[in-house]
Chain A
Amino acid sequence: MTVQTVADVLAGTCLISGAFLSLAAGVGLLRFPDLLNRMHAATKPQVLGLLLILAGTALRLQNTIDITTLVLVGVFQLATAPVAAHMVGRAVYRAGHVRRDLLIVDELAEDRADAQPPSR
């Protein structure tokens, strides 16, 4: 039981859980009823799944130059994923691809109806 073995076991756990989250995202993407719900499934491999796999890779490579690259990938992903998700989510809502029968409340629709006149 050396330090190397412990690092390898940890790395393996990270890699498998990351891959599992990607699979769950694939299932959700296929199964969820409308596009906004599918986008929730999409967030998983983009955030935690990727971070876990990057952590596993860092544990395996153990080299400063490579780890800084991995940190950079993680930071870029964390900074950009919400912006992209927001842009797509807004376009989805405005294009009307929402299953309203599955919503419990839609307070955005209430507020958009109140605002006079609708801008678009």
Chain B
Amino acid sequence: MRLPRWRDRLLTAAVLVTVWMLLWGVFSWANLISGLLVAAVVITVFPLPPVTVAGRPHPVALLRLAWRFVIDLVAASFQLAVLAFRFGHQPRSAIIRVPLRVPSDLVLTLTGEAVSLVPGSLIVDTDRASTTLYIHVIGVADRAAVERFRHEVYETEARIVRAIGSDDEIRRLSDPPPVEKRRQL
């Protein structure tokens, strides 16, 4: 158990040092050393809840994820702009349940972030126990559009898992979507 914890801490420290460097804008040894000091202080004073990073990054899948994210972002932004300028048209929306196939906090968080950064969809609630996202979608006309959107969320999940997941998690993607998982409050 000790090794993954140190790996997570090193990852956090690396991110913090990167932010520190970006803030100063120049690479220098003084910045690197002060950044490491600040990161050490932050990690000891504000310990984060452990996020288990089970997988490893797959570069090609990461690039594909980033590319599709940009495409989705641009397309959805302009669709929503069109919707805003269609005066007299009352957009319909829906709140849908999407139980994810991979039971991982990291995948749940990243899928939620990706879905909610793309305009037109918004996370209303989550259930950690069954890794379920409840998503509010705007501009869906009927049931068929709702199902299309649900399928898109599953594809986003699949892209994220292929980019950062472990082999076991990638294997789970071919499972059928868990329909029967229900919220337990």
A-B pairs with beta carbons under 8 A, tally: 155
Q: Is the CB of B119 within 8 A of A44?
A: yes
Q: Is the interface of A mostly helix, strand, loop or mixed?
A: helix
Most buried by B among A39, A48, A102: A48
B142 within 8 A of A: yes
- For chain B, the count of residues having a C-beta within 8 Å of the partner chain is 48
Instruction: For B81, give its contact among A21, A31, A85, A118 (CB under 8 Å).
Output: A21
B63 within 8 A of A: no
Across-interface contacts of B62 in A (CB, < 8 A): none
B117 within 8 A of A: yes
Spot the interface stretch: B18-26, B51-59, B152-160.
B18-26
Q: Mark B91-125, 1 if CB is under 8 A from A, else 0.
A: 11111110000000000000011001111111111
Given A32-B91, A78-B117: A105 in contact with B85 (beta carbons within 8 A) = no
B83 within 8 A of A: yes
Q: Is the CB of B125 within 8 A of A48?
A: no
Q: Is the CB of A71 within 8 A of B138?
A: no
Chain B minimum-CB-distance residue to A100: B95
Q: Mark B113-144, 1 if CB is under 8 A from A, else 0.
A: 10011111111111000000010101010110
A4 within 8 A of B: no
* CB neighbors of B among A48-83 (8 A): 48-49, 64-66, 68-69, 71-72, 75, 78-79, 81-82
Show 23 A/B contacts (Cβ-Cβ < 8 Å), sorted by A: A24-B80, A27-B84, A27-B85, A31-B84, A33-B91, A40-B136, A44-B77, A47-B73, A47-B119, A68-B22, A69-B23, A78-B117, A81-B116, A82-B116, A85-B123, A90-B125, A102-B90, A103-B92, A104-B143, A105-B94, A108-B124, A109-B95, A111-B134
